[in-house]
Amino acid sequence: MINTQLLNPKSIVVVGGSDDVQKPGGKVLKNLIDGDFKGKLYVANPKMDQVQGIASFKNPKELPQVDLAILAIAAKYCPSTIQLLAEEKNTRAFIILSAGFSEENEEGAKLEKEIINIVNSVGGSLIGPNCIGVLNSNYNGVFTTPIPSLDPKGCDFISGSGATAVFIMESGVPKGLSFSSVYSVGNSAQMGVEEILKYLDESFDPKTSSKVKLLYIENIDKPEMLLKHAASLIRKGCKIAAVKSGGSEAGSRAASSHTGALASSDVAVDALFKKAGIVRCYGRDELATVASVFMHPELKGKNIAVITHAGGPAVMLTDALSNNGLDVPHIDGEKANSLLAKLYDGSSVANPIDFLATGTAEQLGDIIDACENDFEDIDAMAVIFGSPGLFPVYDVYDLLDEKMKVCRKPIYPILPSVVNVKDEIEHFLAKGRINFPDEVVFGNALSKVYNTPKPQSEKIDLPEMDMKTIRRVIDESENGYLAPEKIHMLLDSAGIDRSKEGIVDTLGAAKVLAKEIGYPLVMKVVGPIHKSDVGGVVLNVMNEETVISEFDRLMKIKDTYAVLMCSQHSGTEVFIGAKREDKFGHMVLCGLGGIFIEVLKDVQAALAPIANEEAVEMIHSLKSYGIIKGVRGQDPVNEDKFADAITRVAALMKVAPEIFEMDLNPLLGNKDAVVAVDARIRIEK
Amino acid sequence: MINTQLLNPKSIVVVGGSDDVQKPGGKVLKNLIDGDFKGKLYVANPKMDQVQGIASFKNPKELPQVDLAILAIAAKYCPSTIQLLAEEKNTRAFIILSAGFSEENEEGAKLEKEIINIVNSVGGSLIGPNCIGVLNSNYNGVFTTPIPSLDPKGCDFISGSGATAVFIMESGVPKGLSFSSVYSVGNSAQMGVEEILKYLDESFDPKTSSKVKLLYIENIDKPEMLLKHAASLIRKGCKIAAVKSGGSEAGSRAASSHTGALASSDVAVDALFKKAGIVRCYGRDELATVASVFMHPELKGKNIAVITHAGGPAVMLTDALSNNGLDVPHIDGEKANSLLAKLYDGSSVANPIDFLATGTAEQLGDIIDACENDFEDIDAMAVIFGSPGLFPVYDVYDLLDEKMKVCRKPIYPILPSVVNVKDEIEHFLAKGRINFPDEVVFGNALSKVYNTPKPQSEKIDLPEMDMKTIRRVIDESENGYLAPEKIHMLLDSAGIDRSKEGIVDTLGAAKVLAKEIGYPLVMKVVGPIHKSDVGGVVLNVMNEETVISEFDRLMKIKDTYAVLMCSQHSGTEVFIGAKREDKFGHMVLCGLGGIFIEVLKDVQAALAPIANEEAVEMIHSLKSYGIIKGVRGQDPVNEDKFADAITRVAALMKVAPEIFEMDLNPLLGNKDAVVAVDARIRIEK
């Protein structure tokens, strides 16, 4: 419920504003004043007529109409103040900095609930409580520093933790990262990270909105909302990076199946981020670096020119890029030679392009022009230029800035000399540029961005299934593991191939069953104890003719009263599992069976539903994919059928969400089929 | 050939010193002056009488006796100047900053050679040419900035690249990293990284020497020297971290065997570092962070207390530590409760220990005291304390410094607010402290240090082998693949179990052969075509009795003229390979066979010779180790025998270094034995 009053208030009152800038109420007022807030600014403070040069109202009843209230008073006074402002002052946006609410105790939770009701009753916005506030190019509504440079095209940053938001800005500001908005959601009483992201999605304007979103999340309360709006924003051209912390603790939970043990909630977070196209980061420095990559034009291919005046960092960067799937391709040919002619003796243009410690700004310009115009294979440039501290390098950084304005290909500035040419770097950043001080940190971040898959398609066509039967089986079942016949019905209704069998005692029935089972099949006598010894087992039955002749023969064997028929399978053991993950819906896992699960933990996970391309990508991402493709002359596993089975398991979860856990382990896969040989399904309604 | 004149010169002449501090000759002089060099300082400059206030000699012949010469003149003038100084001025140490030597062309290489000869002829030291110089607490002999804070207990840093040395200091200086010495070896004409490390080892004094060594290496020319002295220093209590760049390009070379394809020269670097106990880093920021960890007391266990005034960074750090094998164990009990009583409401001591945004310096002191004295499980403390920018935090950082002085357990300061409390952090660093600005970067570095194995033992007892036979086989062989009988001789002489076989036609010979082969064995008739049909195959022969009776029976079968006997094996396919790696000697690899090599590239490598514990560690480090241990009721592989075979292959390489490549693939391993079933050996003398 974000509204104009929150985003662009014409007037703000700081309730609890004071002269003490070491307290939140004083500091937020100072930030508003320092930020040159263009609207009307008031203070409510029972003891003062004026605070920091701003008119203060001892009784809030005397306040004029005011759009936004920022509260920095004790929790217990907040509800009545908010009621007064909402009812009498037409205030429609509230930021509560104060703590002492649901994060502290029951009493605080009650106060918080009271406040939500009041704010909701007037259709207002509420940020907090227990947060550092809100910051955008209209006003500095936070009580903390640093205030980053604000720019409508900077990052939109939503944080589930106030202190962490500060520390993330501490990482980004020295690199030159600018922000469009910062939302610290605190207790998320009315709006959490998900709601604000939803707002950014629904209000997205391709012309004016920032295209970079950063998230710091400690709990994902509404995974579906997060997935929907993150993916939607990315489809609209945005880039999103997020830290979701607290992953390590969740891994230890007990579980009753392979799928359970492998599918920790952190795997669900991974799966969600992957499906949405979010770049997952694990620390502040990494998040700030990925954000810095985002602030450059999009990297459209994997060929990077590494341009440098010093060998070492170029080699380290080349290692980092090529170890992570990007390329630093060899450059040669006529155009390369004519570039080389412009550089000093001893330079190299083979890539890394090394124009030596003595290289000039002019030469750098020639190199960038060649990479932009002549070297068509090159998709981006990383320019490493530091200083041993002998002379200023303003000319180089000015040239870099000019080239960045006109080049279509992204240029990433790696300026390592944060001590020696501190002033030049500051001058460069002041033009709105960003610095990557460490080439390897940069290389890892660039690769991570490049390797993050696009969001999965919004509309997923579910495979055709017999939903009626599925629902009937589920509705009739109780909690616990399903009986085999029910499992068979579910698999058959979902179109998941399984090993089939049946017992027949007439030729007619045998022909019908053979059709149902398909070929090749196995026929065995029922009755005799030593089936093989009496010639009562027939393998590799390939057609109806053989069924007819063998049925006849088998039924004549002594003691035989019926024939068991079952499908005959061989192939590589693969595995598909599914598990309901609190709030996330169902996670589906796949991999190779046996030791690959138990010893190597080589599984891929995705959230249901799963589109066919996504299932294919899961299979391709397995470390043991080579085995599925077929190695050493061994039969491959039919990838289409494997992928189809994955999408069907996922679709089954959407139709039958009462399934808590499901294991198809193993399925046997060969070049023709992927067939479930054993299955377990547990219901928990 | 490092000498006192280089380390602690009583007098220095800067040849080519000038007033232009934007040139190396001017800047190195300025650095010497700024660094307050205590000895006599002269300049040789043909045009000046005085340079930067220092007496300049137009003709170097007029110079007084001088210990150390720093040359910043054109390459072609260097030899004659050095000759003059060496012969007439008793100069015994030379640092050549100038470029234009072997790195440029043949002519330069000749000049370099000439210089080496002159310097060697007087037993002098030579650093460079083409380097930034040398820096230690006696003098600032570099032409670059920043000059880090110099401290005999700081890092000794040796760099194969001058610019990279500068940029590494740019990473370390803002964190507070101090240095004891910096050597930029340039072209390594007389001394490279290895020689300087050797000197640091041989001159190591546990009382006065620094215990932290950092290396930046682009080429390892003398791997054996590096291994020997790095391991020796670490055994003496030092810690070493190194970046070896350029690893990614080497991987693409063509190779003729599994071992060849898997054993790139970068794997050899890994193996060398692991054997020496060197912490391998991949970037400047990582190197500086690992060095910062080194500068703290040694971490003796894996239990970390995370102490924080903000939740987010503590959770991210906990994730980073526990995902990398360290623990943030739960803390409770009486002593925990009494600590909790000293903190504000809402604090937690369960670990992370969170004393809230309002937490005080006094409380931090109580927490640290409890971790130091009361919580015995805790091995170290990571203290996260930043600032939202409201008030100064000098008191907290002062307390931290005081506690670090008295605590035995390491305390790692994570001070994220590099903008908000810049002054406080500088004040803290000025006391000789170090800051880790990013908790995750710190956590990864700490884990890396903790997880790096200790150096392998110096004396490796080679297993007993028939060296005479090995040498005879090798000496008699030509280049290329060995014939099977020669392979058998080598394996037998080296004590490597192999599948054995032979043909016998007398009972006496059969009994002898059976003893040689061991049980169980297989006996087959030689002569008949359909051996099975005539009852001519006996499996599972377990003793001599059966050999006797079956030999008799088999020989009576029609057409039989002899009996083939071979050992009968079953088990898991494993693999051992060895490959000679230019300069590194032989690398030995092990892993599981088949798909585990081809698809999963799951191998471990070590340099020969290999001690038994090292072989065991290799086996344990395999991702597929669970299979060797035995999973799902399957037989394990005998680890002792597998490790023994690895050590024997390694020892064979030391006795027969002419072996270029060797593959034992597969060996069959079960709980009793590990036996080579197929082997290839290639000789290249």
Assess whether pLDDT exceeds 80 at residue A633. no
* Average model confidence (pLDDT) across chain A: 93
CB B494 within 8 Å of CB B652: yes
Write out chain B residues lying below 8 Å of A441, CB-based: 283, 285
Report pLDDT for B644.
97
Report pLDDT for A248.
66
**Residue whose structure tokens are 């215990």:** B211
Assess whether pLDDT exceeds 90 at residue A297. yes
Q: Which CB contacts under 8 angstroms, 24+ apart, belong to B48-56? A: B48/B18, B48/B19, B51/B17, B51/B18, B51/B19, B51/B26, B52/B17, B52/B19, B52/B21, B52/B26, B54/B17, B54/B29, B56/B17
Judge: B167–A312 Cβ closer than 8 Å, yes or no. Answer: yes
Cβ-nearest to A418 among B174, B282, B595: B174
Query: B472 to chain A nearest CA, in Å?
Result: 37
**Residue whose structure tokens are 């006192």:** B4
Cβ-nearest to A146 among B144, B309, B420: B420
**Are A314 and A285 in a shared domain?**
no
Gap between the terminal Cα atoms of chain A: 33
> Is B413 a domain residue?
yes
Report the C-alpha gap between A246 and B318 in whole angstroms: 8
> Is A565 a domain residue?
no
**Residue whose structure tokens are 């698809």:** B599
The helix/strand/coil state of B472 is helix
In this prediction, residues A247-275 reach a mean pLDDT of 63
Tell which of B135, B155, B188 closes a domain: B135
- For the segment B18-38, what is each residue's pLDDT rounded down to a tens digit? 999 999 999 999 999 999 999
User: pLDDT-derived band of residue B253, with 50, 70 and 90 as boundaries?
Assistant: very low
CB A477 within 8 Å of CB A486: yes
User: pLDDT-derived band of residue B250, with 50, 70 and 90 as boundaries?
Assistant: very low
Q: How many percent of chain B have pLDDT more than 90?
A: 85
Write out chain A residues lying below 8 Å of B388, CB-based: 132, 143-145, 162-163, 166
Strand-pair partners of A239: A212
Q: How many percent of chain A have pLDDT more than 70?
A: 97
Question: DSSP assignment of B618-663, as one string?
Answer: HHHH-TTHHHHH--TTPPPP-HHHHHHHHHHHHHHHHH-TTEEEEE
User: pLDDT-derived band of residue B249, with 50, 70 and 90 as boundaries?
Assistant: low
Could you tell me which residue, A463 or A599, shows the higher pLDDT? A463
User: pLDDT-derived band of residue B256, with 50, 70 and 90 as boundaries?
Assistant: very low
Judge: A417–B249 Cβ closer than 8 Å, yes or no. Answer: no
* Closest Cα in chain B to A23: B390
Token pair in block for residue B315: 């959770």
Tell which of A271, A294, A317 closes a domain: A294
**Are A328 and A383 in a shared domain?**
yes
Report the C-alpha gap between B478 and B470 in whole angstroms: 14
**Are A177 and A275 in a shared domain?**
yes
Judge: B166–A246 Cβ closer than 8 Å, yes or no. Answer: no
Residue B60 per-residue DSSP state: G
Write out chain A residues lying below 8 Å of B173, CB-based: 419
* Closest Cα in chain A to B629: A599
CB B168 within 8 Å of CB B284: yes
> Is B539 a domain residue?
no
**Are A312 and A289 in a shared domain?**
no
> Is B52 a domain residue?
yes
Report the C-alpha gap between B95 and B69 in whole angstroms: 6
Judge: B146–A284 Cβ closer than 8 Å, yes or no. Answer: no
Judge: B316–A282 Cβ closer than 8 Å, yes or no. Answer: yes
- For the segment A13-48, what is each residue's pLDDT rounded down to a tens digit? 999 999 999 999 999 999 999 999 999 999 999 999
**Are A43 and A165 in a shared domain?**
no
- For the segment B410-467, what is each residue's pLDDT rounded down to a tens digit? 999 999 999 999 999 999 999 999 999 999 999 999 999 999 999 998 888 889 999 9
Assess whether pLDDT exceeds 80 at residue B259. no
**Are B92 and B110 in a shared domain?**
yes
The CB density around residue B120, as the number of other CB atoms within 10 Å, is 12
Judge: A104–B346 Cβ closer than 8 Å, yes or no. Answer: yes
Q: How far is CA A194 from the centre of its chain?
A: 13
Cβ-nearest to A312 among B103, B216, B419: B216
Q: Look at residues A667, A600, A673 and name the one whose alpha carbon lies nearest to residue A635.
A: A673
Residue B207 per-residue DSSP state: T
Token pair in block for residue B593: 């066979």
Cβ-nearest to A145 among B132, B162, B389: B389
Assess whether pLDDT exceeds 90 at residue A158. yes
CATH of the domain at B177: 3.40.50.261
Judge: B22–A420 Cβ closer than 8 Å, yes or no. Answer: no
Residue from A27, A245, A393, A602 whose CB has the most chain B CBs within 10 Å, to mutate: A245
Tell which of B433, B448, B469 closes a domain: B433
- For the segment A95-125, what is each residue's pLDDT rounded down to a tens digit? 999 999 998 899 999 999 999 999 999 999 9
Could you tell me the residue range of the domain that residue B350 belongs to? 304-433
In this prediction, residues A146-165 reach a mean pLDDT of 96
Report the C-alpha gap between B146 and A114 in whole angstroms: 58
Write out chain A residues lying below 8 Å of B628, CB-based: none
Token pair in block for residue B13: 């002449």
In this prediction, residues A406-425 reach a mean pLDDT of 98
Strand-pair partners of B675: B668
* Closest Cα in chain B to A312: B164
B125 exposed, middle or buried (CB, 10 Å; 0-12, 13-18, 19+)? buried
Write out chain A residues lying below 8 Å of B22, CB-based: 390-391
Query: A478 to chain B nearest CA, in Å?
Result: 32
* Closest Cα in chain A to B159: A312
**Are A155 and A280 in a shared domain?**
yes
Query: B100 to chain A nearest CA, in Å?
Result: 10
Report pLDDT for B646.
98
In this prediction, residues B571-584 reach a mean pLDDT of 92
Report pLDDT for B567.
85
**Are A372 and A413 in a shared domain?**
yes
Could you tell me which residue, A535 or B148, shows the higher pLDDT? B148
User: pLDDT-derived band of residue B611, with 50, 70 and 90 as boundaries?
Assistant: very high
E-strand stretches of B238-361:
239-244, 279-281, 304-308, 353-354
Report pLDDT for A23.
96
> Is A40 a domain residue?
yes
User: pLDDT-derived band of residue B251, with 50, 70 and 90 as boundaries?
Assistant: very low
Q: How far is CA A113 from CA A104, A119, A127, A188, A461, in A?
A: 14, 10, 13, 11, 41
CB A653 within 8 Å of CB A469: no
**Are B311 and B428 in a shared domain?**
yes
Q: Look at residues A648, A644, A681, A579 and name the one whose alpha carbon lies nearest to residue A268.
A: A579
> Is B610 a domain residue?
no
Token pair in block for residue B341: 């009583």
Token pair in block for residue B460: 């490796």
Q: Which helix (H) or strand (E) covers residue A340, if one does? A: helix A334-340
User: pLDDT-derived band of residue A263, with 50, 70 and 90 as boundaries?
Assistant: low
Query: A456 to chain B nearest CA, in Å?
Result: 28
The region of weakest confidence among B68-82, B167-181, B427-441, B549-563 is: B549-563
Judge: B389–A441 Cβ closer than 8 Å, yes or no. Answer: no
Report the C-alpha gap between B436 and A268 in whole angstroms: 31
Report pLDDT for B530.
81
**Are A165 and A278 in a shared domain?**
yes
- For the segment A650-669, what is each residue's pLDDT rounded down to a tens digit? 999 999 999 999 999 889 99
Report pLDDT for A249.
53
Is the CA virtual torsion A131, A135, A139, A143 positive or negative? positive
Judge: A245–B346 Cβ closer than 8 Å, yes or no. Answer: no
pTM of the model: 0.93
Token pair in block for residue A394: 């303003």
ipTM: 0.92
Query: B436 to chain A nearest CA, in Å?
Result: 12
Judge: B391–A22 Cβ closer than 8 Å, yes or no. Answer: yes
Assess whether pLDDT exceeds 50 at residue A509. yes
User: pLDDT-derived band of residue A265, with 50, 70 and 90 as boundaries?
Assistant: confident
Q: Look at residues B3, B194, B22 and name the one whose alpha carbon lies nearest to residue B94.
A: B3
User: pLDDT-derived band of residue A258, with 50, 70 and 90 as boundaries?
Assistant: very low
Report pLDDT for B263.
53
**Are B127 and B261 in a shared domain?**
no
- For the segment A183-201, what is each residue's pLDDT rounded down to a tens digit? 999 999 999 999 999 999 9
- For the segment B487-532, what is each residue's pLDDT rounded down to a tens digit? 999 999 999 999 888 889 999 999 999 998 888 898 999 988 888 7
Give CA torsion, residues A43, A47, A52, A57, to 10 deg. Answer: 30
The region of weakest confidence among A78-82, A446-450, B207-211, B678-682 is: B678-682
**Residue whose structure tokens are 């210990």:** B67
In this prediction, residues A269-284 reach a mean pLDDT of 96
> Is A665 a domain residue?
no
Report the C-alpha gap between B566 and B516 in whole angstroms: 10
Judge: A420–B146 Cβ closer than 8 Å, yes or no. Answer: yes
Q: Look at residues A132, A286, A311, A321 and name the one whose alpha carbon lies nearest to residue A214.
A: A286
Tell me, what amino acid is at A295?
M
Three-state secondary structure along A99-159?
CCCCCCCHHHHHHHHHHHHHHHHCCCEEECCCCCEEEECCEEEECCCCCCCEEEEEEEEEE
Task: State the total domains in chain B.
Answer: 3
> Is A628 a domain residue?
no
Report pLDDT for B484.
83
Report the C-alpha gap between B316 and B322 in whole angstroms: 10
Strand-pair partners of A181: A136, A156
**Are A173 and A129 in a shared domain?**
no
Cβ-nearest to B282 among A319, A625, A632: A319
Residue from B324, B439, B446, B599 whose CB has the most chain A CBs within 10 Å, to mutate: B599
Report pLDDT for B458.
85
Write out chain A residues lying below 8 Å of B626, CB-based: 595, 598-600
Query: B457 to chain A nearest CA, in Å?
Result: 31
- For the segment B356-372, what is each residue's pLDDT rounded down to a tens digit? 999 999 999 999 999 99
Assess whether pLDDT exceeds 50 at residue B252. no
**Residue whose structure tokens are 């969400």:** A657
Judge: B163–A391 Cβ closer than 8 Å, yes or no. Answer: no
Q: CB within 8 A of A66, min separation 6: which ones? A: A11, A12, A13, A40, A42, A85, A89, A90, A91
Three-state secondary structure along B216-267?
EECCCCCHHHHHHHHHHHHHCCCEEEEEECCHHHHCCCCCCCHHHHHCCHHH
In this prediction, residues A368-382 reach a mean pLDDT of 97
Assess whether pLDDT exceeds 80 at residue A58. yes
Judge: A322–B21 Cβ closer than 8 Å, yes or no. Answer: no
Q: Which helix (H) or strand (E) covers residue A353, if one does? A: strand A353-354
CATH of the domain at A45: 3.40.50.720
